[in-house]
């Protein structure tokens, strides 16, 4: 299939991008193209203009700033996956990237592009919302920070304004010795997850949970934090009754309707099993970090 006709521009600065977006309502930004190009070919998107940002050098780096990993809009998934700073400082992100699509897509698709595409089952949005990260948006009126919890509005819908470009994503680095786990289940390796769960956890010398964050994707209209699950686990030792309470609460968060991949009941059961396993894994990695 072929896309509808469109104009094409390739600015060399962020300012040129915002000007093009402002002057051409409905224009769309092209980075890696792994989500947009198929949408164009199937005519799910028909913009009058594509604004290609590949020539903007300021958006192609990964760096540490204020205890956050900052990823530019042109950085590909594979670059994040292979980055030493990510491996050393954010093992949870590194683990999650293994689940992102297939190798050829990771070689071309961008991390910020995935955030902006905002598929409710995508991995990087789950990590951003789990760690209370944010994105930087630049538009005609200047720069603004959008927290993850405000950025994802609905499936494939964000709070980015039409005249804005998301230039960077900021992923907070977990506390030292944090336990972590990322698990998902898809019908085939590389497919979007039917359900995915991510956990960050810190424990004390008695294996009591000092802090815990839990997020999930594929179970609602956007990636979400399971705050009530976090509340019931805080201060616990994660015995069997604690895990049972957490999974009982988890079911309430599964609001995605039945689809060709799973019934509602299947997705609820799957998410509970993933959560139980992820909690145990996170505690085990926390123990290893605590010991040394």
Task: Specify the higher pLDDT residue, 114 or 102.
Answer: 114
Query: 69: which strand partners?
Result: 64, 171
Instruction: For residue 240, give Cα distances in angstroms to 72, 181, 244, 245, 276.
Output: 42, 18, 6, 9, 9
Structure tokens at 245: 């309470």
Distance CA 169, CA 178 (A): 22
Would the pLDDT of 76 be above 60? Answer: yes
Would the pLDDT of 292 be above 60? Answer: no
* Strand ranges inside the chain, DSSP E: 7-9, 28-30, 49-52, 62-65, 68-72, 134-139, 142-147, 152-154, 157-158, 165-172, 179-185, 195-203, 209-217, 224-225
The pLDDT value given to residue 1:
63
Would the pLDDT of 275 be above 50? Answer: yes
Domains, the chain, ordered by start:
7-52 (3.30.43.10), 57-172 (3.30.465.10), 179-291 (3.30.390.50)
Give mean pLDDT, residues 150-166.
Answer: 97
Contacting residues for 234 by C-beta, under 8 A, at least 6 apart: 209, 211, 212
Q: At what angle do helices 264-291 and 240-250 cross, to 10 degrees?
A: 140
Give mean pLDDT, residues 133-148.
Answer: 97
Would the pLDDT of 233 be above 60? Answer: yes
pTM beyond cutoff 0.75? yes
Q: What is the pLDDT confidence band of residue 218, given thresholds at 50, 70 and 90?
A: very high
Query: 162: which strand partners?
Result: none
Would the pLDDT of 272 be above 70? Answer: yes
Structure tokens at 145: 């920070």
Listing DSSP states for 241-269 in one string gives HHHHHHHHHHGGG--PPP-SS--HHHHHH
Structure tokens at 37: 């190009």
49-76 burial, b at 16+ Cβ within 10 Å, e below that, comes to bbbebbebeebbebeeeeebbbbbbbbb
The pLDDT value given to residue 43:
80
The pLDDT value given to residue 35:
87
Give mean pLDDT, residues 99-119.
Answer: 93
The pLDDT value given to residue 291:
46
Q: Mind listing the pLDDT tens digit for each residue in 28-46?
A: 999 998 888 888 888 888 8
Q: In the predicted model, what is the mean pLDDT of the chain?
A: 95
Would the pLDDT of 277 be above 50? Answer: yes
């Amino acid at each position: 299939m072929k896309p509808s006709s469109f104009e094409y521009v390739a600015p060399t600065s962020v300012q040129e991008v915002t000007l093009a977006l402002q002057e051409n309502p409905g224009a769309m930004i092209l980075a890696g193209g792994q989500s947009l190009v198929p949408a164009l070919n199937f005519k799910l998107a028909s913009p009058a203009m594509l604004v290609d940002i590949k020539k903007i050098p300021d958006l192609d780096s990964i760096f540490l700033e204020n205890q956050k990993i900052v990823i530019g809009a042109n950085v590909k998934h594979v670059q994040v996956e292979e980055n030493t700073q990510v491996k050393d400082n954010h093992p949870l992100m590194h683990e999650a990237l293994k689940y992102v699509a297939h190798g050829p897509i990771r070689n071309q698709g961008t991390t910020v592009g995935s955030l902006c595409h905002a598929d409710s089952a995508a991995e990087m949005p789950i990590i951003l919302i789990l760690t209370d990260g944010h994105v930087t948006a630049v538009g005609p009126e200047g720069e603004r920070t959008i927290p993850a919890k405000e950025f994802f509005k609905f499936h494939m819908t964000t709070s980015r304004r039409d005249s804005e470009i998301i230039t960077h994503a900021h992923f907070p680095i977990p506390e030292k010795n944090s336990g972590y786990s990322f698990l998902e289940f898809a019908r085939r390796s590389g497919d979007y997850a039917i359900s995915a769960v991510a956990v960050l956890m810190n424990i004390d010398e008695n294996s009591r949970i000092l802090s815990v964050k839990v997020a999930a994707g594929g179970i609602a209209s956007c990636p979400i934090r399971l705050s009530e699950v976090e509340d019931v686990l805080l201060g616990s030792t994660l015995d069997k009754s604690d895990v049972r309470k957490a999974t009982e609460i988890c079911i309430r968060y599964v609001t995605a309707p039945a689809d060709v991949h799973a019934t509602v009941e299947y997705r609820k059961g799957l998410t509970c099993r993933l959560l139980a396993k992820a909690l145990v894994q996170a505690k085990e990695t926390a123990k290893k970090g605590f010991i040394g």
